[in-house]
Amino acid sequence: MTLRITTALRDAIVEHARRDHPDEACGVIAGPAGSDRPERFIPMLNAARSPTFYEFDSADLLKLYREMDDRDEEPVVVYHSHTATEAYPSRTDISYASEPAAHYVLVSTAECGNDEGPVSFRSFRIVDGEVTEEDVDLVEAYQG
């Protein structure tokens, strides 16, 4: 299992995580249904506005799912940041993971905060409470 993602999308996620630090950042990258190809970057508001917890606003999420439905898209990547801990899903993250086909990306800004500096960028599959880390394949552009 591998997440194939463009460098530009990876950079957009990292930038969002740095900007929202010390609160957790969260969002979705949608792609054509069935393609496993992340294309459309959708930064979301962390309704919890918390450094230890993220929550999508339910109205925003409903709007997003309707929009993806209209465009024949699905959430390929669901991402959020950890601001003080490693980039690994917490028990809460695991309990909220409701998209078995999605890549769950975690970025840790624990070392850099809002500044340039090292971040940890990792991807996981979360299915029925089971967490499996996967490789991240960075590409300049998708082929075909």
HSE on the CB side for 6, CA within 13 Å? 14
Number of Cβ within 10 Å of residue 9's Cβ equals: 20
Domain ranges of the chain: 2-139
Q: Provide the token pair at 68.
A: 């993806």
pLDDT of residue 21: 94
pLDDT of residue 25: 97
pLDDT at 117: 85
Name the residue with tokens 């669901």.
Answer: 78
Burial grade of 37 (CB within 10 A; 0-12, 13-18, 19 or more)? middle
pLDDT at 98: 92
d(CA 90, CA 83): 12
Q: Whole-angstrom Cα distance, residue 80 to residue 82?
A: 7
- CA distances 114 to 2, 81, 88, 108, Å, are 28, 12, 20, 11
State the 10-residue block means of pLDDT for the chain, 144 residues long. Answer: 97 97 97 97 96 94 97 98 96 93 96 88 97 98 87
- Give 2-139's CATH code, choosing from 3.30.70.20, 1.10.287.130, 3.40.140.10, 2.60.120.330: 3.40.140.10
This prediction has a pTM of 0.96
